[in-house]
Amino acid sequence: MSDRPFLPVAPLMIEHRLIERMIEVMRQKTKQAEETSIPDLRFIDAAVDFIRTYADHLHHGKEEGILFRALGAKPLSEEHRRVMDELVAEHEFGRQTTTRLVKAKARYVDGDAGALTEIIDCFFALTDFYPKHIEKEDHHFFVPVMSYFSREEQDRMLAEGKEFDLKFIHGHYGSVVKEWEQGAGPTEVPGL
């Protein structure tokens, strides 16, 4: 029996559960917007903040900055290299779709009623994308690629992930304050 609490991918898989919960709320809000032809603008801001801050900067930040970086130094099988490249491209798809959502919301707020269709399309794209992406990582990639690492390497990655988590929120909001100090403020303010 190992005295190690879990593999370095376990926190990533736990984070997936919260992302799945948000995706379900996004599905409900998309259906509501379709039925009423009125998007919940406050929810769009909350969803964008969640996707950008939690799913992308925190979660994908650890995947790309710790796991994928470490895997990049390993002699991966052709299959594992291909899947890792796909995952990185999928992260970029999520970022681009979220940016489209922000722009569509801005157009809607400026009076473009037709932007509702793009808002709904972006939510559909994100709610379709994330479950498939999570399935690929959880069931076809994370656990198999752990075999490339020694126990010591896994322990170092786990520690690096914990350190990343501890610094993350301070780093994020430190950037927000710095942007305000420089006179412009953040390009987007969640909830506004």
Q: Where are the alpha helices (DSSP H) in 114-150?
A: 115-140, 142-145
Report DSSP state, residue 182. T
pLDDT tens digit string along 107-134?
999 999 999 999 999 999 999 999 999 9
- Consecutive H or E run containing 107: helix 78-109
State mean pLDDT over 151-165. 94
Q: Are 149 and 157 in contact (CB under 8 A)?
A: yes
Dihedral, CA of residue 32, residue 133, residue 68 and residue 16, to nearest 10? 60
Burial class (CB in 10 A: 0-12, 13-18, 19+), 177: exposed
Could you tell me the pTM of the whole model?
0.86
How far apart are the C-alpha atoms of 84 and 75, rounded to whole Å? 13
pLDDT tens digit string along 26-53?
999 999 999 999 999 999 999 999 999 9
**Residue 14 neighbours by CB distance under 10 Å:** 10
Q: Are 126 and 98 in contact (CB under 8 A)?
A: yes
Q: Are 9 and 109 in contact (CB under 8 A)?
A: no
pLDDT tens digit string along 46-96?
999 999 999 999 999 999 999 999 999 999 999 999 999 999 999 999 999
Q: What are phi and psi of 112, to 5 degrees?
A: -85, 95
| Cβ-proximal residues to 21 (8 Å cutoff; 6+ apart), any chain | none
Among residues 163, 124, 162, 152, the alpha carbon closest in space to that of 14 is found at 162
- Give the pLDDT band of residue 192 (cuts 50, 70, 90): very low
All structural domains of the chain, each given as residue ranges with its CATH number in brackets, are 10-174 (1.20.120.520)
Hey, which of 156-160, 176-180, 183-187 has the most confident mean pLDDT? Answer: 156-160
